[in-house]
């Protein structure tokens, strides 16, 4: 019987120790599993952080590119403005019809008294140009008749300076202005 008790005790000890070992493995597994899940979550979090960083970096790079493009545009505009400043205008064209040193298409209106033969056959527009050319030679600034203003602004000799040029007009010019007005 002693032998039987010994055997029973040994079997119980064996069973007990084997149960303990299985309990140990059971407790160890969840710990390992917990470690794996913790690692996975940290890995996921770090990958999310990496994604956030990479998206922020890409946004920064995009903004840098936009700024560089704007900077280039501004530099181009600046260079264009400098080029425009450095362009020298072509020398003024010499008007074909010059009556001594008097510029214009109808210089005789400022130098001598006009006769009917000087204005015969001229259209209303030509008479208007002839009369206003007297004023334009003295630098009159045209404000009312835009077609006349545009016409004289295209003339290389015209320099708009005064709103009133009556004091500069000679007797010949005043007489010719009145003469032309009668036929206009």
- Which has more confidence, 13 or 108? 108
What DSSP letter does each residue of 105-173 carry, written as one string? S-THHHHS---HHHHTT--HHHHHHHHHHHHHHTTB---S-HHHHHHHHTSTT----BS--GGG--HHH
Label residue 122 exposed, middle or buried (CB < 10 Å: 0-12, 13-18, 19+).
middle
- Percent of the chain whose pLDDT exceeds 90: 38
Both 112 and 81 in one domain: the answer is no
What tens digit of pLDDT does each residue of 79-128 get?
A: 777 766 655 444 444 444 444 577 888 999 999 999 999 999 999 999 99
Q: Any bridge partners for residue 102, and if so which?
A: 99
Residue 99 falls inside a structural domain = no
The DSSP secondary-structure symbol of 101 reads T
Q: Is the pLDDT of residue 73 over 90?
A: no
Can you give the pTM of this predicted structure? 0.47
Both 171 and 121 in one domain: the answer is yes
Q: Which domain range does residue 41 map to?
A: 37-88
Q: What is the mean pLDDT of residues 46-60?
A: 76
Residue 93 falls inside a structural domain = no
Residue 76 falls inside a structural domain = yes
State how many domains the chain has: 2
């Amino acid at each position: 019987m002693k032998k039987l008790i010994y055997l029973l005790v040994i079997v119980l000890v064996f069973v007990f120790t084997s149960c303990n070992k299985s309990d140990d493995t059971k407790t160890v597994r969840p710990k390992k599993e917990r470690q794996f899940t913790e690692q996975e979550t940290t890995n996921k979090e770090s990958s999310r952080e990496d994604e956030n960083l990479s998206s922020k970096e890409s946004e920064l790079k995009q903004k840098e590119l936009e700024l560089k493009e704007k900077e280039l545009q501004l530099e181009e505009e600046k260079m264009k403005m400098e080029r425009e400043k450095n362009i020298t205008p072509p020398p003024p064209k010499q008007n074909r019809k010059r009556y001594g040193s008097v510029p214009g298409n109808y210089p005789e209106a400022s130098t001598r008294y006009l006769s009917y033969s000087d204005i015969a056959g001229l259209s209303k527009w030509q008479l208007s140009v002839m009369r206003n050319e007297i004023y334009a030679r003295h630098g009159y600034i045209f404000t009312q008749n835009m077609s006349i203003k545009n016409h004289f602004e295209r003339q290389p000799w015209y320099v708009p300076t005064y709103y009133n040029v009556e004091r500069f007009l000679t007797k010949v010019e005043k007489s010719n202005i009145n003469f032309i007005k009668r036929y206009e």
